[in-house]
Amino acid sequence: MLSANPSQKWSALMCRCGVEQSASQNLWGEIEAAYQQPVRHYHNLAHIVDLLDQVEKHREQISAPDDMELAVWYHDVVYRIGRSDNETRSAALAADRLKTAGLAGERIARISRMIAATQSHHLPDGPADPDLPWVLDFDLAVLGRDWPEYNDYASAIRREYRRFPDIIYNPGRKKVLRSFLESSRIYQTGLYYHQFESSARNNLARELAALS
């Protein structure tokens, strides 16, 4: 269940960003249609609202929360099952739409970098962005939640890939799980590391064992 009307969250964000109502409505129509595609069992509006709720909860720790909210809204807007460039395409679409909406180029570049980083969930080389660890952790928070919620997430991902038989899906999924388990740390912020790291590793290992 969504904690708030997503369209109201979007409208409030656009108002804070100084975007005209007509432009806001046009952008919303595209975003809503994307996240309501029937194939999206996990990467949908509920996922977006979950991340937005986390942004709001930790707003005082975030230097530019509105930019982060824009990154959240657009980070999965392009989602083609089996493709490896969804985040790159999402970042490009966001840059185009936000430029048309009148946002400053510096803000757009930062938002695009946040979106692109959700592909690997690793901090990129270059100047540090203090907000980037937060948005990466928000996107991965589900990995460290209670097993029933994690299992619902894993099942939803499987439904998104339902056109692939187990003989194809399972090896790919196990590769993803192992990449997380082999990383030095899953979460970048101290808060999420202490809160979720151990349970995330337990959940990932449990799913991996079930697929083996």
For the chain, what is the domain count?
2
Name the residue type at position 138.
F
Domain boundary among 140, 155, 178: 140
Angle between helices 65-74 and 132-140 in degrees, nearest 10: 40
**CA–CA gap between residue 189 and residue 193 (Å, rounded):** 6
Mean pLDDT across the stretch 138-161? 99
The answer to whether residue 153 scores a pLDDT higher than 70 is: yes
pLDDT in tens, 157-202: 999 999 999 999 999 999 999 999 999 999 999 999 999 999 999 9
Mean pLDDT across the stretch 130-145? 98
Same domain, 125 and 147: no
CATH of the domain at 52: 1.10.3210
Mean pLDDT across the stretch 56-76? 98
Instruction: Please report whether residue 151 resides in a domain.
Output: yes
Which domain does 70 fall in, by range?
6-140
Same domain, 106 and 52: yes
* Six token digits for residue 71: 């990154």
Looking at every residue in the chain, the average pLDDT score rounds to 96
Q: What SS3 class is residue 161?
A: coil
CA dihedral 13, 16, 22, 25 (to 10 degrees): 0
**CA–CA gap between residue 208 and residue 200 (Å, rounded):** 12
Instruction: Please report whether residue 1 resides in a domain.
Output: no
